[in-house]
């Protein structure tokens, strides 16, 4: 009986260790994807005189109110971010994402083109310039998309997240920044998530280390 008990304990320990190893591998794979995106974005910034890519393509038919000022704007140049999925092998898919292809968004009433495992910070939606960013090493550029339903909140089916919510700005919904039901998958990797910063480095962080205003806000340039 003692031997059986020891074997059971060892088996459980091995299962837990294997689960942790798989989780770490998925976390690292996701971070690798973000790092590759960061390298591409930095190259783009260098080529375009300090300008970050836009998340909207030049063929957008209807101008959208998506910037922090609530102004109606049309994109003036294309974005490589909208084309990553077509030319990469899983680069836009986080290994830990249960729905990287956004199949749950097929019936979304407000469909968005190019939904993937990752979200661009809404401050960059029309292409910020380097001089507009107070500190690129502590400004999040890309986060992970919440692709699964939480309680009564459906999966997030957007390509950006809006971190500038105020009660007077209905264009930036409050629930984008909800820790559990918001746009970002805040606990996808062992209680935290991977974030790509504007200087192209990637970090795993718990949500309160990224967003807990007014003390902590790593989303506002």
pLDDT tens, 14-47?
555 555 668 788 999 999 999 998 998 888 888 8
> How many domains are there within the chain?
1
In this predicted structure, what is the pLDDT of residue 64? 44
Q: Which residue has the tokens 């919510």?
A: 165
More confident residue, 57 or 134: 134
Average pLDDT, the chain: 78
pLDDT at 70 over 70: no
Its pTM stands at 0.81
Sorting pLDDT into bands at 50, 70 and 90, what band is 107?
confident
Predicted confidence band of residue 169 (pLDDT cuts 50, 70, 90): low
Which region holds residue 49: left if phi is over 0, alpha if psi is between -120 and 50, else beta? Answer: left
> What residues contact residue 82 under an 8 Å CB cut-off, 6+ apart?
55, 56, 57, 113, 114
Where in the sequence is the domain holding 11, given as residue range(s)?
2-217
CA atoms within 13 A on the CB side of 89: 0
Token pair listed for 72: 């109606």
Helix (H, G, I), strand (E, B) or coil at 140: strand
Please give the pLDDT value at position 160: 87
Average pLDDT value for residue range 8-12: 51
pLDDT interval class at 12 (50, 70, 90): low
Q: What percent of the chain has pLDDT over 70?
A: 71
Q: How far is CA 169 from the centre of its chain?
A: 22
Residues 6+ apart with CB under 8 A from 115: 102, 105, 145, 157, 158, 159
pLDDT, tens only, 80-100: 555 555 555 578 899 999 998
Q: What is the pLDDT of residue 51?
A: 83
């Amino acid at each position: 009986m003692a031997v059986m008990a020891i074997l059971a304990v060892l088996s459980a320990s091995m299962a837990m260790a294997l689960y942790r190893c798989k989780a770490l591998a998925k976390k690292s794979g996701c971070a690798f994807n973000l790092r590759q995106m960061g390298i591409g974005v930095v190259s783009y910034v260098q080529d375009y005189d300090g300008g970050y890519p836009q998340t909207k393509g030049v063929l957008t038919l209807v101008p959208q109110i998506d910037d922090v000022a609530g102004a109606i704007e049309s994109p003036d140049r294309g974005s490589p971010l909208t084309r990553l999925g077509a030319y990469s092998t899983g680069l836009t898919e986080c290994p830990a994402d249960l729905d990287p292809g956004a199949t749950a968004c097929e019936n979304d009433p407000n469909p968005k083109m190019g939904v993937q495992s990752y979200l661009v910070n809404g401050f960059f939606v029309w292409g910020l310039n380097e001089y507009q960013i107070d500190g690129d090493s502590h400004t999040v550029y890309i986060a992970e998309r919440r692709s699964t339903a939480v309680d009564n909140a459906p999966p997030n089916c957007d390509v950006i997240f809006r971190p500038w919510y105020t009660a007077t700005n209905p264009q930036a919904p409050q629930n984008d920044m909800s820790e559990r039901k918001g746009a970002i998958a805040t606990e996808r990797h062992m209680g935290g998530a991977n974030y790509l910063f504007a200087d192209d480095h990637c970090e795993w962080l718990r949500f309160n280390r990224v967003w807990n205003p007014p003390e902590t806000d790593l989303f506002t340039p």
